[in-house]
Structure 1
Amino acid sequence: MGEVVAMGPARGEAFDPQALPTSRKFLIFGVLAFGQFMALIDIQIVAASLNSVQAGLSAGPDEISWVQTGYLMAELVMIPFAAFLAQALSTRWLFAASAGLFTLASALCGMAWDIDSMIAFRMIQGFVGGAMVPTVFATGFTLFSGPQRAMIPAILGMVSVLAPTLGPTVGGWLTEVAGWRWIFYINIVPGIAVTALALLLVRVDRPNLSMLRKIDYSHLAAMAVFLGGLEYVLEEGPRHDWFGDPSIATAAWLSFVAFLLFLERSFRSGGPIVRLSPFRRPTFAMACAFNLVIGFGIYSSTYLIPLFLGRVRGFNSMEIGTTVFVTGLAQIISTVIAARLSQRADPRHVITVGLVLFSLSLWWTAHLTPDWGFYDLLGPQLLRGFSVMLCIVPSVNLALNGFEQAELRYASGLFNLMRNLGGAIGIAVVNTWLGDQARIHVARMGESLGEAGRSAPDFAAGLAARFAAITPDPVHAALLAQAEMAKAVGRRALTYAFNESFQLMAWMFLAALIMVPFCRPAPQGAPPPADAH
Structure 2
Amino acid sequence: MAEQGGSEERASLGDWIAVAAGGLGALMATLDISITNSALPQIQGEIGATGTEGTWISTGYLMSEIVIIPLAAWLTRVFGLRSFLLGCAALFMLFSVLCGLSDSLLLMIVGRIGQGLTGGAMIPTGQTIIRTRLPMSQLPVGMTLFGLIVLLGPLLGPVLGGWLTENISWSWCFYINMPVGLGLILLLLVGLPATPAHPEALRQADWLGIAGLSLGLSSLTVVLEEGQRERWFESSLIVWLSALSLFGILLVAISQFTARKPVIRLNLLRNPRYASVIFIVMMVGAALYGVIYIIPQFLGTIAGYNAEQSGWVMLVSGVPAFLMMPLLPRLLARTDYRVLVISGLVAFVWSCALDVHLTAQSVGHDFFWSQLLRGVGQMLAMMPLNQASMAAVSREDSGDAAGIYNMARNLGGSMGLAIIGTVIDRRDTYHVSVIRQSVTANSLVGQERIASSAARWFAQTGDMAYARLQATGQLASQIARQALVMTYSELFYLLAIALLCCMPLALLLKTPARGPAPIRSGAGR
- The alignment's TM-score, normalised by the length of structure 1, stands at 0.93
Distance across 2 between alignment mates of 1:179 and 1:484: 37
In the TM superposition, residue 18 of structure 1 has moved relative to its aligned partner by 5.4
The aligned residue for residue 9 of structure 1 is none
Residue 219, structure 1, aligned to residue 209, structure 2: yes
What letter matches 1:134 in structure 2? P
Aligned to 1:424: 414
Q: Does 1:298 align with 2:288?
A: yes
Residue 205 (structure 1) shift: 4.6
Quote the Cα distance in structure 2 between the aligned partners of 1:278 and 1:204: 29
Contact 1:87 / 1:406 at 8 angstroms: preserved in 2?
A: no
Separation of aligned partners in 1, 2:393 and 2:336: 19
**Counterpart code for 1:526:** A
Following superposition, the deviation at residue 244 of structure 1 comes to 2.2
The answer (yes or no) to whether the contact 1:339–1:393 under 8 Å persists in 2 is: no
- Give the Cα–Cα distance (whole angstroms) in 1 for the partners of residues 339 and 395 of structure 2: 27
**TM-superposed deviation, 1:253:** 1.4
- Match runs of 1:499-514 below 5 Å: 499-514=489-504
- Which runs of structure 2 are paired with 1:422-501 in the superposition (5 Å)? 422-450=412-440, 453-501=443-491
Q: How does 1:383-398 map to 2 (within 5 A)?
A: 383-398=373-388
Which deviates further from its counterpart, 199-208 or 316-325?
199-208
Partners of 2:88 and 2:118 within 8 A in 1: yes
Instruction: Give per-residue Cα distances to partners, 1:232-282, cap 9 Å, x unaligned.
Output: 111111122212222111111110111011111133113432222322321
1:153-201 deviations in Å (ceiling 9; x for gaps) = 2111111110101111111111100121111111111112212331332
Secondary structure of 1:482 counterpart: helix
Task: Tell me, in whole angstroms, the C-alpha distance in 1 between the residues paired with 2:46 and 2:388.
Answer: 46
User: What's the offset of the Cα at 1:424?
Assistant: 0.5
Separation (CA, whole Å) in 2 of partners of 1:111 and 1:32: 28
Aligned partners of 2:423 and 2:324: how far apart in 1? 31
Distance of 2:169 and 2:510 partners within structure 1: 51
Which whole-Å deviations, capped at 9, do the CAs of 1:134-157 have from their partners, x for residues lacking one? 001111011112331111221111
Percent identical? 31
Backbone CA RMSD of aligned residues: 2.0
Determine if contact 2:319/2:375 at 8 Å carries over to the other structure.
yes
Question: After the TM superposition, which residues 319-334 of structure 1 pair with which residues of structure 2 at under 5 Å, given as runs?
Answer: 319-334=309-324
Give the conservation status (yes or no) of the 8 Å contact 2:69–2:407. Answer: yes
* Structure 2 residue aligned with 1:526: 517
Corresponding residue of 2:402:
412
The one-letter code sitting in structure 1 at the alignment partner of 2:383 is V
Structure-2 change in CA distance of 1:197 and 1:436 (3 Å): same
Aligned to 2:82: 92
For residue 87 of structure 2, what is the amino acid of its counterpart? A
Q: Per-residue deviation at 1:204? A: 7.2
Partner residue in 1 for 2:3:
none
- Cross-structure match for 1:3: none
Question: CA separation of 1:504/1:61 partners in 2, compared to 1, >3 Å: closer, same or farther?
Answer: same
CA distance, structure 2, for counterparts of residue 146 and residue 19 of structure 1? 7
Q: Secondary structure at the match of 2:64?
A: helix
User: CA, structure 1 residues 143+531, in 2 after alignment: closer, same or farther (shift >3 Å)?
Assistant: closer
Which of the residues 53, 58, 65 maps onto 1:68? 58
Shift of 1:475: 2.2
Distance 1:504 1:20 in 2: 45
Q: Deviations over 1:48-101 (max 9, x none)?
A: 221111111111111000101110000000000000011111211111111111
What is the CA distance between 1:296 and its match in structure 2? Answer: 0.6
Is 2:18–2:129's contact at 8 Å kept on the other side of the alignment?
no
Deviation (angstroms), 1:103? 0.9
**C-alpha distance in structure 2 between counterparts of 1:63 and 1:422, whole Å:** 24
Deviation at 1:117, TM superposition (A): 1.2
Match of 2:347 in 1: 357
Counterpart CA distance in 1 for 2:209 and 2:80 is: 21
How far off is 1:471 after superposition?
A: 2.5
* Residue 149 of structure 1: aligned partner: 139
1:38 deviates by: 0.4
Distance 1:530 1:104 in 2: 35
| 1:230-249 to 2 correspondences below 5 Å | 230-249=220-239
Structure 2 Cα separation of the partners of residues 497 and 110 of structure 1: 37
Correspondent of 1:167 among 157, 166, 177: 157
Say which of 323, 333, 346 aligns to 1:343: 333
The Cα of 1:529 is off from its aligned counterpart by 5.5
Q: Distance in 1 between matches of 2:411 and 2:235?
A: 22
Contact 1:71–1:126 (8 Å) recurs in 2: yes
Mapping for residues 192-203 of structure 1, pairs under 5 Å: 192-203=182-193
Question: What is the alpha-carbon distance in structure 1 between the residues aligned to residue 389 and residue 11 of structure 2?
Answer: 27
Match of 1:12 in 2: none
Query: Is residue 146–residue 526 contact of structure 1 (8 Å, CA) maintained in 2?
Result: yes
Gaps of 5+ in 2: 1-6
* Mapped partners of 2:245, 2:289: distance in 1: 23
Counterpart CA distance in 2 for 1:34 and 1:426 is 27
The whole-number CA distance in structure 2 between the counterparts of 1:502 and 1:530 is 48
In the TM superposition, what are the counterparts of 1:260-275 in structure 2 within 5 Å?
A: 260-275=250-265
- CA distance in 2 between counterparts of 1:195 and 1:477 reads 65
Instruction: Please list every run of 5 or more consecutive structure 1 residues that lacks an aligned counterpart in the other structure.
Output: 1-16
Equivalent residue in structure 2 for 1:83, among 73, 87, 96: 73
Corresponding position of 2:4 = none
Is the counterpart of residue 276 in structure 1 residue 266 in structure 2? yes
Question: Are the structure 2 counterparts of residues 379 and 258 from structure 1 closer, same or farther at C-alpha, using a change threshold of 3 Å?
Answer: same
TM-score scaled to structure 2, two decimals? Answer: 0.95
Instruction: State the distance in 1 between where 2:165 and 2:510 align.
Output: 47
Instruction: Decide whether the 8 Å contact of 1:442 with 1:489 is kept in 2.
Output: yes
- Residues matched between the structures, number: 518
The amino acid that maps onto 1:173 is W
The question of 1:131 aligning with 2:121 is answered: yes
